[in-house]
Amino acid sequence: MKKILSILIFTLICSCAFQTKGADGQPGKNGEPEKPKIKKEDIKASMNYLASDALNGRATGSDGIEKAAVFIENYLKTNNIKPYFKTYRDSFKLNDLDGYNIVGMVEGSDPKLKEEFIILGGHYDHIGKGKIVEGDSIANGANDDASGTIAAMEFGKYFAKTKTNKRSILITLYDAEEMGLKGSEHLAERFKVKGINAYTMINFEMIGVPRAENEVMAYMSGFERSNFAKTLNAYAGEEVVGFFSKAKEFNLFMRSDNYPVYKELNIPAHAISTFDFSNFDYYHHVDDEADKMDYEHMVNFIEKMIPALEGMMNAPTKEVVLKDE
C-alpha cells in the first residue's frame, strides 16, 4: 500500500511540475501556453486618462503632457518593459520648450536576432486647445493619437508577457508631432548616431474608430514603398492592411512620425491608420473625446495585428524591404 501511495504522489508531483501554464499563470489548452488577452477595460482605462481634461490637451511643454509622460513611464515599468536608454525619456529642446519622447524595450529571445529592432510607436502629444464648442476648449486628442499610443503600449505589454518575439521591440511614444514631427526627428537622429540595427518601423496613427464594413480594416501610408503590407497580411492570414488612395493623395507618408525614421535610417517605416477622413468628424476638434472611441474595434485591431507582427519579428531573415518607387 505504501508503495502504491508513493507512486501516486510521484505521479501527481510530476504532472503538476510539467503542466504548461500561460503568461497569466493558468493552464493552456492541449498543453500549450495560454496567451494574455487584450482587454477592452484596460484600453478604456488608459484612454480615459490620456484623453481626460486633467491633461489639458497634452500640448508639448505643458503640465498635461508631463502627466501623460509619467503615466506612460509607469505603465511601461509596471509591465516589465525596460528603458532603452538610461531612463525612459529621450529629452530634447524645442526653442524654450522641453520635449520628451518615451522609449521602452522588450528584448528578443533569439541570441542573434535580438540585435535587430522592430520599432512600434505613436505620438502622445496633441494640440492643447481648440476652437471653443459649448464652452469646451480642450482638444483631448483621443483618436489623435492617444489611440495609437495605447496600441503601441498594449503591444509592448503583450510581448513583454509572452516573450514570443525573437527580435527586440522598441516602444516609442513621440512628443511634438503636432509641432512638425520634432520628437521623432530627434529620436531618429539619435538612433542613427547610436548605429542601431533597426529592421522596420510601424507608427500607429489614429486607430480609435473603424472604417466602413466594406473597407479593409486599416490602411498603410507609403503602401507602395515596401512589401510591408503584403508581409503583414500573409502572417495575419487575411488582408488587415490595405491600400488607400487618399493616403497617397494627401502625402500621409511624410506627415507622421514614420517619416523621420525612414529618412534617417533608410528602413521600411509606415503609418497604419483606421481613420480615413470619412469615419470621424473631430480631427483637431474639442470633441475628439474618449467616449467617441470604439473600444471593441481597438481590441479587434490589436488582436489581428499580433500574429502579423509575430511573423515579422520571428522570421529568420529580413523579409520586409524597401522598393524603388
Give me the CATH number covering residue 61.
3.40.630.10
The reply to whether 3 falls in a domain is no
The reply to whether 24 falls in a domain is no
The reply to whether 200 falls in a domain is yes
- pTM score, whole prediction: 0.90
Q: What is the pLDDT of residue 14?
A: 38
The reply to whether 17 falls in a domain is no
Q: What is the pLDDT of residue 35?
A: 86
Q: What is the pLDDT of residue 324?
A: 77
Q: Note down the domain range covering 204.
A: 54-314
For residue 25, count CB atoms less than 10 angstroms from its CB and return exposed for 0-12, middle for 13-18, buried for 19 or more: exposed
- Buried residues in 152-184 as b, exposed as e (16+ CB within 10 A): bbbbbbbbbbbebbbbbbbbbbbbbbbbebbbb
Q: Choose among 157, 81, 72: nearest CA to 123.
A: 72
Query: Taking a C-beta distance cutoff of 8 angstroms, is the pair 273, 218 a contact?
Result: yes
* Torsions phi, psi for 299 (to 5 deg): -60, -45
Return averaged pLDDT per consecutive 10 residues of the chain, 325 residues in all.
40 37 48 82 98 98 98 98 98 97 98 98 98 97 98 98 97 98 98 98 98 97 97 97 96 98 98 97 98 98 98 97 85
Q: State the total domains in the chain.
A: 1
Q: What is the pLDDT of residue 17?
A: 37
Could you give the CA distance from residue 94 to residue 103 in angstroms, rounded to a whole number? 19
The reply to whether 185 falls in a domain is yes
Q: What is the pLDDT of residue 19?
A: 36
The reply to whether 30 falls in a domain is no
The reply to whether 4 falls in a domain is no
Query: Cα–Cα distances in Å, from 6 out to 1, 12, 13?
Result: 9, 10, 11
